Amino acid sequence: MLGLASAPQAAIDVVRVNGGSPFSALLRVRIPAALPQFLASARISIPGAIVGSMLAEWLVGFEGMGGVLSGYKGQGNYGGVWTIVALSVLVSIVLYELMTIVETALLARWGPEAGVTRE
C-alpha cells in the first residue's frame, strides 16, 4: 500500500488530463511506482516463508521437511537434523538470490527511476 500511495501525483494527473481512468492510472503509474517496495518485500519474505512452513510441518504432522526433522530428532539422527537445517538454509539463499535476479530484471524493464518520487 505504501508503494501504491507513493506514486507521483503529477504523473497521475497527466493520465487523468489525457482521459485516463483510475484503472489506467493504476496500471501506468501506481504499479510501476510500487514495484521497488513490492519486490523488496517479496525478497525478504521468502526465507520467513520457508521457516514458517517447516515450523507448521514440525508442529502439525510428519510430512515435509519439518516432519522429517521431527522424526530425525526423535531417532537421535543428529546428522539428519543438521542436513535438513543446512538444506533449508541453502534453499532460502537460492530463492532469495533468484528473487533478487527477478527484481533486477523487472526494475530494468521499468527503468531505474521506478518508484522514485521527485518533488
pLDDT for residue 81: 86
Does the pLDDT value for residue 92 go beyond 60? yes
Write down the mean pLDDT value for the chain.
Answer: 84
Does the pLDDT value for residue 111 go beyond 70? no
Output 30 or 94, whichever has higher pLDDT.
Answer: 94
Instruction: Give the Cα separation of 106 and 74 in Å (integer).
Output: 45
Instruction: Give the Cα separation of 118 and 86 in Å (integer).
Output: 44
Does the pLDDT value for residue 116 go beyond 60? no
Global pTM value: 0.70
Instruction: Give the Cα separation of 73 and 88 in Å (integer).
Output: 16
Q: What does 14-52 look like in DSSP terms, one character per residue?
A: HHHHTT--HHHHIIIIIHHHHHHHHHHHHHHHHHHHHHH
The number of angstroms, rounded, from the C-alpha of 100 to the middle of its chain's C-alpha atoms is 9
Query: Which of left, alpha, beta for 64 (phi over 0: left; psi -120 to 50: alpha)?
Result: left
